[in-house]
Amino acid sequence: MTCTYLITGANRGLGLEFSRQLAARGDRVIAVVRREDAAGGVAALAARVVVAEVTDAAGVEALGREVAGEKVDVLINNAGVSSEGKTLAGVTAGEMERVFRVNSTAPLMVTRAALPALRAGGRRLVVNISSQLASIANNTGGSSYAYRASKCALNMLTTCLANEFRGEGLCFVAMHPGWVKTDMGGPQAPMTPEQSVGWMVKTIDGLSMAESGRFLNYDGKGLPW
């Protein structure tokens, strides 16, 4: 069955690869990019390109208007940033606010804006791209304060949404994509975007309400909070 996917950060990295793989199999992609001149290769893949700055209230409102008449099956909150300060000495309040705005607040606001379109869709699924660095249980190394904390907050928001909308049949999961060769992951990462997204698409295809509120690895295995 053909589905409609709404993907943020769709012009590069994992977002672009999601767009490529989903479009190749016949799914309909609505690609969200920050600037029109940044659309790049995704413009040829997506059924629609929506220009919206998802960290800006006006941008999110505009996104909501753009998709108001759509039937969105799956929202992939993919847009994210890494943090500069890796240690306590290097982190600043401004850095914490910037990273939280992109990695935590923006996915929540995008979800709210897209909610009418998700309710109209068939699958009613939201995938928040998280990170294993958000795992408190697995944090033995410290560092990357802003990034870890922002993704941990995203995980909490995922469970809150899952609990609030379970009665409506809306499914929310947080997903670790693996360590991937992207601008964020760096060239030393063991996985390519094609490999990571291939796994995630397979996992997303198999998700049901039984997984709502869970923190999953790209291969569908559960990760500890």
Name residue, tokens 């190394």: 141
β-strands 4-8, 74-77 pairing: parallel
Task: For residues 45 and 61, give the distance between their C-alpha atoms in angstroms, rounded to a whole number.
Answer: 24
Q: Which residues of 28-53 are buried (b: 16+ CB within 10 A; e: fewer)?
A: bbbbbbbeeeebeebeebbeebbbbb
Taking phi over 0 as left and psi of -120 to 50 as alpha, with beta for the rest, 124 belongs to left
What b/e sequence results for 158-170 when a residue is b if at least 16 CB atoms lie within 10 Å of its CB, and e otherwise?
Answer: bbebbeebeeeeb
Distance separating alpha carbons of residues 211 and 220, to the nearest angstrom:
9
Q: Which residues are catalytic?
A: 145
Q: What is the separation of C-alpha 48 from the centre of its chain, rounded to a whole number of angstroms?
A: 18
What phi-psi label fits residue 151: left (phi over 0), alpha (psi between -120 and 50 degrees) or beta?
A: alpha
The residues, any chain, with a CB within 8 Å of residue 122's CB and separated by 6 or more, are 1, 3, 71, 73
